[in-house]
Structure 1
Amino acid sequence: METQKKNALEFFISLYDFHTSQYHHALENIPEEKTHDRLNTQANHVAYIAGRMVYEREALAKGIQVNIQLDTTKEFQGFKGIQDGVVYPSLEECRKAWDKVSPALKEGLQKLTEEQLNGKDPFEMPGGDFKLFDSIVFTIDHESYFLGQLGLYRRLLGIAAMKF
């Protein structure tokens, strides 16, 4: 018999699948020479956002014991914010890493038991007594935030809106 968090996880996996495809749409037609342009603001730039999304999936995969190692995430270790002067991975490198981590993480998510979902938060998120399930929800929801940033950047760079 399915349990409450396991049922809820299915919803979040559907959102995860949507984000998996939207990632590619969000990065489509962005010129590589524009990826580090912060548009005279303190905002995250496209290269940081694209790489950070990959890193967050990799970190969650490791948090649920999915063995995956990517070469594109060292600049993000420890959930580092954007750093001036750092050259982040290219969008092509990010796309390849995204396509590597996404199916592995999805498979790992689908295998989680109710007991595991109620287990310790592997990231020790501040602000409460969070469980693994809460970390999963936060990570997938945080992708929505990043996709919104990429959508806005597209418009600010004069690139057509994302396709769905």
Structure 2
Amino acid sequence: MNTPVSKKLDIVIPAFRMHTQSFLNVLDGITEEDALKRIDGKTNHIIWMAGNLVNCRYGMAWVLGLREEDPYSDLFFQGKALSPEYNYPSLQALKESFHKISALLYEQLLQAPDELLDSAFQFGMNVPFVPATVLSFMGMCIGREDYLCGQIGLMRKILGYEGMKYDINTNIPY
């Protein structure tokens, strides 16, 4: 692993890299058809969950100064509610977008200085024990990724797939 400029990211970066692996593993083998299924019309489908996770990565990149646009932002920005009227992208398209932004974001994380991480950033949580900083936003996004991977993992089981594997692809450097 490359060494980040800021020691404050010593926990965030390994979690980020593990989530890269988990995201790809949790989606492994899921068909495009199954990725659009909802349970009793009440749950989000896997496409929405995956798209929201990819959008989180675009948000992290944006806050760190990387001006890459999520091509599906209008469907997923700030957890926009799922709607049956929307035409959602394929899992394959989301994976491609995920790889693109993840590689770029990883480099931004490595270069992020303490001054940027400590800077004020209002992200709407308004929780007294969570400082409104860029670093806190990174941490909240990492938590969101955990949550979404867990939700997709549960959907895997409900849809009849085996549980997610924890295989590591060492060829993915981010």
TM-score by length of 1: 0.89
* Higher mean displacement: 32-41 or 56-65: 32-41
Identity %: 27
SS of equivalent residue, structure 2 residue 10:
helix
The residue aligned with 1:34 is 34
Unpaired runs of 5+ residues, structure 1, are: 1-5
Give the one of 128, 146, 149 matched to 1:147: 149
Contact 1:154 1:161 in 2 (8 A): yes
Q: Deviations over 1:85-136 (max 9, x none)?
A: 2232110000000000001111111111111111011534333441111000
The residue aligned with 1:49 is 49
* Paired letter, 2:138: I
* Higher mean displacement: 109-118 or 144-153: 109-118
**Structure 1 residue 41 displacement after superposition:** 4.3
Q: More helix per residue: 1 or 2?
A: 1
**Structure 1 residue 48 displacement after superposition:** 0.1
Q: Deviations over 1:29-62 (max 9, x none)?
A: 1111111211104222101001111111001111
**Structure 1 residue 82 displacement after superposition:** 2.1
Contact 1:58 1:69 in 2 (8 A): yes
Contact 1:63 1:122 in 2 (8 A): no
Mark the CA change 1:79 to 1:136 in structure 2 (over 3 Å): closer, same or farther. Answer: same
Contact 1:48 1:82 in 2 (8 A): yes
Contact 2:8 2:114 in 1 (8 A): no
The residue aligned with 2:170 is none
CA distance in 1, matches of 2:8, 2:101: 22
Map 1:89-100 → 2, pairs under 5 A: 89-100=89-100
The residue aligned with 1:115 is 115
**Aligned-residue CA RMSD (Å):** 1.6
The residue aligned with 1:65 is 65
* Higher mean displacement: 66-75 or 146-155: 66-75
1:138 aligns with 2:166: no
Number of aligned positions between the proteins: 159
* Higher mean displacement: 47-56 or 79-88: 79-88
Unpaired runs of 5+ residues, structure 2, are: 1-5, 167-174
**Structure 1 residue 159 displacement after superposition:** 0.5
